[in-house]
Amino acid sequence: MSIMRSCAMAAVAATLVTPAIAEERRDTIYINPFAGFQYFDDKRSLDESATYGFGVEYRFLPHWAIEGVYSRANADHKYGSGDSDFEEVRVDGTYYFAGPEEKWNPYVSLGAGHADFGNDSSRMGTSGSNHDETRVNVGTGVRYNVTDKFSLRGDLREFHGIDESTFDTQVSLGFSLAFARTTTSPSPAPTPAPVPAKPADSDNDGVIDSRDQCPGTKAGIA
């Protein structure tokens, strides 16, 4: 029995000195250049136009990311000569339906930004004018991970201009370069198992009370 008791105590001691299991966290920064096509609301009197830009995306959790985007276009006037230089800066929040380790990462996105529709006065022969607008957007798309560092992304997005209640649509295709970082943090150490109490030996004769047939034996006498 003393051998079994010694083994049990050794097992408890081994548990206490085992290091805490490390918890891994991976966050990723994407550089997202893209090109696409933008369809403007009829209220703007602008033809459909090619558009391009880039984004910087921070994927701070496996399913959540935030992205800052800059885009621009040069759209001809639909009912006259001249064109407008369009620029926009926006911030989008994105939810991915799959983890970054999966090949296909479909997502939905929601964001807001500031757009500038400026006229090209050199073609119109006038002084031109600028029109600023706040726009909110909702989008959906998919990211396809070719490798850990390189992926393709297709995006469909609807914009709503708050000032004049306009609706614009943009479809784009781009690629992404990923810069991933993995950090580890120790998880809380497990609660140690209680050490079994040593069996009682009231008369200190080396025989535990539960087996002692002579409970009054003096100490040191078998």
Residue 20 is predicted with a pLDDT of 40
Domains (range + CATH), the chain: 25-185 (2.40.160.20)
Q: How far is CA 188 from CA 19, 162, 170, in A?
A: 10, 49, 48
- 136, 118 contact by CB (below 8 A): no
**Given pLDDT bands bounded at 50, 70 and 90, which one contains residue 22?**
very low
Does pTM top 0.75 for this prediction?
A: no
Residue 221 is predicted with a pLDDT of 67
User: Measuring CA to CA, which residue among 63, 36, 7, 65 is closest to residue 159?
Assistant: 36
Question: For 89-99, what is the mean pLDDT?
Answer: 97
Report the run of H or E that residue 117 belongs to, with start and end.
strand 104-119
Residue 184 is predicted with a pLDDT of 67
Residue 8 is predicted with a pLDDT of 47
Each residue's pLDDT tens digit, 155-189: 999 999 998 899 999 999 999 999 988 776 666 66
pLDDT value at 209 more than 50: yes
